[in-house]
Amino acid sequence: MTGKKTSVRHEVKSSVKDESLIEKRRDQMIRGAVKLFREKGFHRTTTREIAKEAGFSIGTLYEYIRTKEDVLYLVCDRIYEEVNDRLSQLAEKQGTVDGLKDAIRLYIETINDMDDEFTVMYQETKSLPKTALSYVLEKELEMAGLFERMLAGCSEAGEIRLTEKEARLGAHHIIVQGQMWAFRRWALRKQFTLGEFIEMLTDQLLHGVAGLQREGEAT
């Protein structure tokens, strides 16, 4: 539907040739970086700390990246990869409210599992170099697009009634609520379990705050 696939992957150069080694080392690196970024933020984390946490020397770190910002980009990229992997199982059931509910559940659960990564991503995104930033933002728009099409599908199937704009805002709403679960957990998890949160969220999205009818509708 969105024909344009402009998102050119922002390649991170490595001076190491062995692709599988690159994969392995970057894995270590990302794992370490996420932990540190979560604790102290991108700017307060030093490259030496990342290397140490990853289990190798500063020299080795720089065999696999070019700049510190590359690490941040790698982290962001990894997150989208994983979220997309998880969400891609939802291709079927398009156009049903049940399918939408499943998607929301899956999305929030994914965030719940990866909340360090998400928090990092939403708080440090602006430190990305220009080209990496636009790649990441595009990825996010793709994700929003996925929910937008689901909502539009439900509307076409007649299960709910939505204008195009409403579908767009609804998609945005879902994305944002997911982010909220990640980076407002200091407030939310004292009061809600994961299950409660998902249920209430879905409920509120579909029905709004209880007891009110849409204007112009009969009781």
Do 144 and 172 form a contact (C-beta atoms < 8 A)? yes
Q: Work out which of 53, 188, 189, 194 binds a copy of itself, going by CB under 8 A.
A: 188
Per partner kind, with CB cut-offs from 5 to 8 A, the member of a copy of itself, DNA, none near residue 60 is DNA
C-alpha–C-alpha distance, residues 50 and 2, integer Å: 38
**Residues with Cβ within 8 Å of residue 77, at least 6 apart in sequence:** 9, 10, 135, 136, 139
Q: CA 9 to CA 139: how far, in whole Å?
A: 10
* CA dihedral (196, 113, 98, 208) positive or negative: positive
Instruction: Verify binding: residue 96, a copy of itself, rule CB under 8 A.
Output: no
Quick check: 209 binds a copy of itself (CB under 8 A)?
A: yes
Residues that bind DNA (CB under 7 A): 15-18, 21, 25, 44-48, 56-60, 62-63, 66-69
57 binds, among a copy of itself, DNA, none (CB under 5 to 8 A by kind): DNA
Q: Which alpha helices (DSSP H) does 88-183 contain, by range? A: 97-113, 115-124, 130-156, 164-183
Binding site for a copy of itself (CB under 8 A): 41, 43-44, 97, 123, 126-127, 137, 140-141, 144, 151, 159-162, 165-166, 168-170, 172-173, 176-177, 179-180, 184, 186-188, 191-192, 196-197, 200-201, 203-214
